[in-house]
């Protein structure tokens, strides 16, 4: 993930974290997938030339080639806008989202499968996990809560870990989008 620091990072993190925090687990996961889809769309659009016509049929519409979350993940990677580890992280978010979208009665963030997916997201960026562990450990020490300090999910709980990972992913993608330069048209 791209590094974002300071006040801007805190504002982006808070914005995205707050968007899903009051939702049920199912609502948070489905909403997170939709938001990630939109953030990827913004990233792709920031790189591509504007459409010839006002309506962008590449991204919107019933038969848009880049209309799905999956297609946007793949295209972001193929255009070189995201790194291989971010590709994998987004695919893991998509798997969690699909779990909740297609398993109506028994999808849970606390399932071993989804906890493993979240841990795999963390494993793709160990520097992020160690920074989050350090930050949350300080918070918990101030509140005299003793938790497992070697595992973010155990330290802050499955739901808060999901919200945190989602907010970090959006924050990073937003930063990449802001730094992306539009390709130039050939003569």
76-109 pLDDT, tens digit per residue, is 999 999 999 999 999 999 999 999 999 888 899 9
Question: Considering the entire predicted model, what is its pTM?
Answer: 0.89
At 178, list the tokens: 């802001």
Does the residue 80 lie in any domain? yes
Number of domains comprising the chain = 1
Q: Which residue has the higher pLDDT, 152 or 35?
A: 35
pLDDT of residue 143: 52
CATH number of the domain enclosing 119: 1.20.120
Whether 78 maps to a domain, the answer reads yes
Going by pLDDT thresholds of 50, 70 and 90, the confidence category of residue 1 is very low
Contact 56, 81 (CB under 8 A): no
**Residue-range definition of the domain harbouring residue 117:** 6-123+158-179
> Positive or negative CA dihedral for 96, 76, 31, 98?
negative
Neighbour count for residue 157 (Cβ, 10 Å): 15
């Amino acid at each position: 993930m791209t590094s974002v620091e300071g006040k801007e990072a805190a504002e982006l993190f808070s914005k995205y974290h707050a968007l899903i925090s009051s939702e049920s687990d199912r609502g948070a996961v489905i909403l997170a997938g939709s938001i990630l889809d939109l953030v990827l769309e913004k990233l792709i659009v920031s790189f591509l030339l504007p459409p010839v016509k006002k309506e962008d049929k590449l991204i919107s519409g019933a038969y848009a080639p880049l209309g799905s979350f999956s297609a946007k993940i793949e295209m972001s990677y193929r255009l070189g806008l995201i790194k291989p580890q971010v590709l994998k992280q987004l695919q893991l978010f998509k798997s969690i989202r699909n779990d909740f979208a297609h398993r109506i009665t028994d999808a849970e963030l606390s399932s071993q499968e989804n906890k493993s997916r979240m841990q795999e997201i963390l494993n793709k960026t160990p520097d992020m996990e160690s920074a989050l562990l350090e930050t949350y450990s300080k918070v918990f020490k101030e509140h005299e809560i003793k938790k497992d300090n070697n595992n973010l999910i155990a330290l802050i709980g499955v739901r808060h870990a999901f919200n945190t990972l989602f907010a970090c992913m959006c924050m990073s993608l937003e930063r990449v989008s802001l730094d992306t330069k539009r390709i130039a048209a050939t003569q």
